[in-house]
Structures are given as C-alpha cells and as structure tokens.
C-alpha cells in the first residue's frame, strides 16, 4: 500500500499531485497549485469531473467556453468559506492568479450532463458539529444533497486547537447502502500558525491497517479504508479540505462501536 502521507514537493507550482494510480485506488485525485500573480494553472478534465477550490488568494477563471471572471476573496483558509468552481468531464479549465494563490484541484470520475458553475461562499450553510473539545466548523462545498455532480464530494473543516475532528472515529469503506457507503478520501491539511502540528490515525477494526501520522502544514493524507480521526494540538487550529468519491455519491458512515458512547455523553 502507498504511503498514506504525501508531503508537498516544493513551495511553488504544482506542489502536490495525487492520482488514483499513485494512491493505489480507483476514484479520488487531488492536486495543489501555489501560484504567483500572473501565473496560470490549466488542464483538460478528460473523463473526470473537477472541483477547483480557492484555498487562499484571488484568480480569474475560465471553464470550457465560460469566463467566470475573478474568484476568491479570503487570503487564508482560516478566513471564512471559499470560492469554488465545478468543471464537468469532457471540458477544460484555466485559472490565472491575481494575487498569491493556493488552488486545490479535486477530481473524480465524471458522467452525466452537468455544466460548469461557480460555487460562491454561502451556497451551503456553515455548520458546527460536535460539542466540548469535539467542536469543529464545516463549510460544505459539494455535499451529497446538491445533486450537482456525478461522484465528487468536497468539504472543508476547521478544528480549533486542542480539539478532535472526524471523531468519534467513523469509516466509509463498505459498499453496503443504506448502512454504509464506500468512499475513498483525501485530507489536505493546513495549520494556523503554520509551524504547528496535529495527528491523524487511519486504522481498521482488525488493525491490518493502523497508522498514526504527524500532520504538518501542507500535508495530504490518504484514507483508502478504515477509521480516520484527527487531533489538533493546543494553540494551533487545523484546517482540512476533504475530497471523497466512490461508486455512489452518498456519504453514509459507520461509527466505531466502542466509541459510539461519546455521541451520547
């Protein structure tokens, strides 16, 4: 199995490149571009659909024959909801940076007759999940109930320092609806302040997979199966951008039974 943690390759240009082939799985892809003003990232979508997420900074975007103009307003992923742009399969896109720009490219198999569209902040309501030191703040970008994509699910979460997230531990590695859906998942992590660190554990019930990873600013973690809780260390807020996809565009998870009592505590 490939290493479950992917470190950024440099600090400029395409610094992260995760494909189904490199991850050893079937559905999810993830790229991260760090651009200087005036620089452009572009690609053909081929047989995949794409969600571009303005993690930070501003840039002008085109998709197919549509010009979406300038998108992006936050200068940090810790400053509110993002701008995003959906691009269907069989199309192309380009984004030219107007400021320092961090652009995420989330991808999965495409299909259907979807059209390119902007996803501005506020498209979906902001959510707060958990209680006590399990509180975290959720910005849905492409949730399952929007009916606007073939397979992509995209969401970002901010976990305050000292809190846990994706917790109590849950998994979604069985194609067993309505009880559980099979979804591969990537986490793109950022820390505030950036010198901080956190932790993520990925493990299965039988412990045939059981890895604990130190999370540093810019790391991507892969979740091919199993439970995958995170913890943010005191003093450092943890941001992550999730990309999920599988055979059905449904997020139905299964809680670790030994920890499910926490939901009632």
- The CA-atom distances, in angstroms, between 135 and each of 141, 158, 165, 168, 179 are 19, 9, 8, 11, 25
Quote the tokens at residue 157: 């979460």
Number of C-beta neighbours around residue 73 at 10 A = 16
In the chain, what percentage of residues exceed pLDDT 70? 100
Mean pLDDT value across residues 104-132? 96
Over residues 237-263, mean pLDDT: 97
Find all residues with CB under 8 Å of 119, minimum gap 6, and list them. Answer: 51, 83, 84, 85, 86, 141, 142
Find all residues with CB under 8 Å of 47, minimum gap 6, and list them.
89, 90, 109, 110
pLDDT band at 2 (very low <50, low <70, confident <90, very high): confident
pLDDT of the residue at 147: 86
Q: Is the pLDDT of residue 264 over 90?
A: no
* Tokens coding 56: 């930070």
**pLDDT tens digit string along 55-75?**
999 999 999 999 999 999 999
Read off the pLDDT of residues 189-205 as tens digits, 9 standing for 90 and up: 999 999 999 999 999 99
Domains delineated in the chain = 8-264 (2.60.120.10)
Query: pLDDT digits over 92-108, tens only?
Result: 999 999 999 999 999 99
Mean per-residue pLDDT, 138-154: 95
- For 16-28, how does the pLDDT look when each residue is reduced to its tens digit (9 = 90+)? 999 999 999 999 9
Identify the band that residue 1 occupies on the pLDDT scale cut at 50, 70 and 90. low
Q: Please state the three-class secondary structure of the chain as a single string.
A: CCCCEECCCCCCEEEEEECHHHHCCCCCEEEEEEECCCCEEEEECCCEEEEEEEEECCEEEEECCEEEEEECCCCCCCCCCCCEEEECCCCEEEEEECCCEEEEEEEEECCCCCCCEEECCCCCCCEEECCHHHCEEEEEEECHHHCCCCCCEEEEEEECCCCEECCCCEECEEEECCCEEECEEEEEEEEECCCCCEEEEEECCCCCCEEEEEECCCCEEEECCCECCEEECCCCEEEEEEEEECCCCCCCCEECHHHHHHHCC
State the average pLDDT for the chain.
97
Whether residue 213 is predicted with pLDDT greater than 90 in this model: the reply is yes
């Amino acid at each position: 199995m490939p290493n479950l943690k992917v470190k950024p390759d440099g600090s400029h240009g395409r610094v992260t490149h995760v494909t189904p082939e490199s991850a050893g799985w079937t559905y999810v892809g993830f790229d991260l571009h760090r651009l200087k003003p005036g620089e452009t990232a572009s690609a053909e979508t081929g047989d995949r659909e794409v969600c571009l997420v303005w993690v930070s900074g501003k840039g002008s975007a085109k998709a197919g024959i549509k010009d979406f103009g300038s998108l992006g307003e936050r200068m940090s992923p810790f400053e509110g909801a993002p701008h995003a742009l959906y691009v269907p399969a069989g199309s192309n896109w380009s984004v030219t940076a107007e400021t320092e720009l961090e652009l995420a490219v989330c991808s999965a198999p495409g299909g259907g007759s979807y059209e390119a569209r902007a996803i501005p902040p506020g498209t979906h309501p902001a959510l707060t999940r958990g209680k006590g030191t399990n509180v975290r703040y959720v910005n849905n970008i492409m949730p399952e109930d929007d009916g606007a994509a073939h397979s992509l699910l995209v969401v970002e979460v901010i976990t305050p320092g000292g809190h846990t997230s994706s917790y109590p531990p849950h998994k979604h590695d069985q194609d067993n609806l309505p009880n559980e859906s099979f979804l591969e998942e990537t986490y793109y992590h950022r820390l505030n302040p950036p010198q901080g660190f956190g932790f993520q554990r990925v493990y299965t019930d039988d412990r045939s997979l059981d890895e604990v990873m130190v999370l540093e600013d810019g790391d991507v973690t892969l979740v091919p199966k199993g439970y995958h809780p995170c913890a943010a260390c005191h003093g450092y807020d943890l941001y992550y951008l999730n990309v999920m996809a599988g055979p059905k565009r449904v997020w139905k998870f299964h809680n670790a039974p030994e920890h499910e009592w926490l939901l009632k505590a």
